[in-house]
Amino acid sequence: MERFVLKKSQDLPGWWVLTDAENLIVVKFKEHEFNESQKVTFIDDEKSAIGKLGAQGIARVLREMGDYMFTHWYSIALPTPVFEFRQDDENDRMLLIRNKFPKFTLEIQDDCDREQLSEALNAARKFAENYGK
Protein backbone atom coordinates (compact mmCIF):
# COMPACT_ATOMS: atom_id res chain seq x y z
CA MET A 1 0.00 0.00 0.00
CA GLU A 2 1.19 3.50 -0.83
CA ARG A 3 2.11 5.67 2.13
CA PHE A 4 0.53 8.84 0.70
CA VAL A 5 -2.86 8.84 -0.97
CA LEU A 6 -4.13 11.97 -2.74
CA LYS A 7 -7.79 12.28 -3.74
CA LYS A 8 -10.21 15.05 -4.62
CA SER A 9 -12.45 15.97 -1.72
CA GLN A 10 -15.93 14.45 -1.98
CA ASP A 11 -17.58 17.13 0.14
CA LEU A 12 -15.58 20.32 -0.60
CA PRO A 13 -15.38 21.41 -4.27
CA GLY A 14 -11.89 22.64 -5.18
CA TRP A 15 -10.31 20.87 -2.20
CA TRP A 16 -8.01 17.84 -2.00
CA VAL A 17 -7.41 15.24 0.69
CA LEU A 18 -3.89 13.91 1.33
CA THR A 19 -3.72 10.91 3.66
CA ASP A 20 -0.60 9.45 5.25
CA ALA A 21 -1.79 5.84 5.50
CA GLU A 22 1.21 4.89 7.65
CA ASN A 23 0.75 7.52 10.36
CA LEU A 24 -3.02 8.00 9.96
CA ILE A 25 -2.83 11.77 9.39
CA VAL A 26 -5.09 13.58 6.93
CA VAL A 27 -4.49 17.02 5.41
CA LYS A 28 -7.30 18.73 3.51
CA PHE A 29 -6.29 21.71 1.41
CA LYS A 30 -7.66 24.02 -1.25
CA GLU A 31 -6.24 23.48 -4.73
CA HIS A 32 -3.23 25.78 -5.39
CA GLU A 33 -3.27 26.91 -1.72
CA PHE A 34 -1.57 24.04 0.08
CA ASN A 35 0.40 26.25 2.47
CA GLU A 36 -2.46 28.66 3.18
CA SER A 37 -5.42 26.33 3.64
CA GLN A 38 -4.27 23.12 5.38
CA LYS A 39 -6.71 21.46 7.76
CA VAL A 40 -5.05 18.62 9.66
CA THR A 41 -7.03 15.79 11.22
CA PHE A 42 -6.14 12.38 12.63
CA ILE A 43 -7.80 9.11 11.67
CA ASP A 44 -7.33 7.92 15.25
CA ASP A 45 -7.92 10.49 17.94
CA GLU A 46 -5.43 13.32 18.33
CA LYS A 47 -4.21 12.20 21.76
CA SER A 48 -3.18 8.76 20.50
CA ALA A 49 -1.38 10.33 17.53
CA ILE A 50 0.53 12.68 19.83
CA GLY A 51 1.28 9.78 22.17
CA LYS A 52 2.51 7.59 19.31
CA LEU A 53 4.51 10.18 17.34
CA GLY A 54 5.10 13.05 19.75
CA ALA A 55 4.89 16.68 18.70
CA GLN A 56 8.20 16.51 16.80
CA GLY A 57 7.09 13.33 15.05
CA ILE A 58 3.86 14.95 13.90
CA ALA A 59 5.82 17.97 12.66
CA ARG A 60 8.15 15.61 10.76
CA VAL A 61 5.23 13.76 9.16
CA LEU A 62 3.56 17.03 8.11
CA ARG A 63 6.86 18.19 6.57
CA GLU A 64 7.13 14.88 4.70
CA MET A 65 3.57 15.33 3.42
CA GLY A 66 4.47 18.81 2.18
CA ASP A 67 7.62 17.46 0.54
CA TYR A 68 5.55 14.76 -1.17
CA MET A 69 3.13 17.36 -2.56
CA PHE A 70 5.96 19.59 -3.76
CA THR A 71 7.81 16.69 -5.41
CA HIS A 72 4.86 14.84 -6.94
CA TRP A 73 1.90 17.23 -7.20
CA TYR A 74 3.30 20.77 -7.31
CA SER A 75 0.67 21.93 -9.82
CA ILE A 76 -2.15 20.85 -7.46
CA ALA A 77 -0.56 22.16 -4.27
CA LEU A 78 0.68 25.56 -5.42
CA PRO A 79 -0.19 28.09 -8.13
CA THR A 80 0.49 26.40 -11.44
CA PRO A 81 3.80 27.42 -12.97
CA VAL A 82 4.39 27.32 -16.71
CA PHE A 83 7.15 24.73 -16.19
CA GLU A 84 7.85 22.32 -13.36
CA PHE A 85 10.10 19.39 -12.55
CA ARG A 86 8.34 16.46 -10.90
CA GLN A 87 9.26 12.96 -9.78
CA ASP A 88 6.82 10.29 -10.91
CA ASP A 89 4.91 8.34 -8.27
CA GLU A 90 7.55 5.60 -8.08
CA ASN A 91 10.39 8.14 -7.67
CA ASP A 92 12.27 6.55 -10.55
CA ARG A 93 11.70 9.10 -13.32
CA MET A 94 12.24 12.86 -13.47
CA LEU A 95 9.66 14.72 -15.55
CA LEU A 96 9.76 18.19 -17.08
CA ILE A 97 6.20 19.43 -17.48
CA ARG A 98 4.83 22.42 -19.35
CA ASN A 99 1.40 23.38 -17.98
CA LYS A 100 0.56 26.00 -20.61
CA PHE A 101 -0.39 25.51 -24.28
CA PRO A 102 1.14 23.61 -25.90
CA LYS A 103 1.25 21.32 -22.87
CA PHE A 104 3.80 18.52 -22.71
CA THR A 105 5.55 16.12 -20.38
CA LEU A 106 9.16 15.16 -21.02
CA GLU A 107 10.79 12.23 -19.28
CA ILE A 108 14.45 12.86 -18.47
CA GLN A 109 15.99 9.42 -18.79
CA ASP A 110 19.62 10.16 -17.85
CA ASP A 111 21.26 11.81 -14.89
CA CYS A 112 22.49 15.17 -16.10
CA ASP A 113 23.20 18.63 -14.78
CA ARG A 114 21.28 21.78 -15.66
CA GLU A 115 23.76 22.82 -18.35
CA GLN A 116 23.54 19.47 -20.13
CA LEU A 117 19.74 19.55 -19.97
CA SER A 118 19.66 23.13 -21.23
CA GLU A 119 21.89 22.22 -24.19
CA ALA A 120 19.67 19.25 -25.06
CA LEU A 121 16.49 21.38 -24.87
CA ASN A 122 18.13 24.05 -27.03
CA ALA A 123 18.97 21.37 -29.63
CA ALA A 124 15.32 20.23 -29.50
CA ARG A 125 14.19 23.82 -30.05
CA LYS A 126 16.39 24.08 -33.15
CA PHE A 127 15.07 20.74 -34.39
CA ALA A 128 11.44 21.88 -33.95
CA GLU A 129 12.12 25.19 -35.73
CA ASN A 130 13.58 23.40 -38.75
CA TYR A 131 11.21 20.42 -38.86
CA GLY A 132 9.37 20.25 -42.16
CA LYS A 133 11.24 23.12 -43.82
The total number of structural domains in the chain stands at: 2
Q: What is the pTM of this model?
A: 0.67
- Percentages helix, strand, coil for the chain, rounded to the nearest 5? 40, 25, 35
Domain co-membership, 108 together with 69:
no
* DSSP sequence for 25-51: EEEEEETT-HHHH-EEEESS-HHHHHH
Average pLDDT score over residue span 98-111: 90
Q: For 60-90, how does the pLDDT look when each residue is reduced to its tens digit (9 = 90+)?
A: 999 999 999 998 998 899 888 788 888 887 8
Domain co-membership, 69 together with 89:
no
Average pLDDT score over residue span 127-132: 91
Contact 10, 47 (CB under 8 A): no
Domain co-membership, 118 together with 92:
yes
**Domain range enclosing 58:** 4-77
Domain co-membership, 14 together with 66:
yes
Consecutive H or E run containing 4: strand 4-8
Rounded to whole angstroms, the Cα distance separating 7 from 4 reads 10
**Higher per-residue confidence, 27 vs 81:** 27
Please give the mean pLDDT across all residues of the chain.
Answer: 91
**Of 77, 103, 120, which marks where a domain is finished?**
77
**Strand partners for 27:** 18, 40
Domain co-membership, 40 together with 15:
yes
Domain co-membership, 53 together with 73:
yes
Domain co-membership, 17 together with 69:
yes
Domain co-membership, 71 together with 39:
yes
What is the pLDDT confidence band of residue 7, given thresholds at 50, 70 and 90?
very high
**Of 49, 77, 105, which marks where a domain is finished?**
77
Rounded to whole angstroms, the Cα distance separating 45 from 72 reads 28
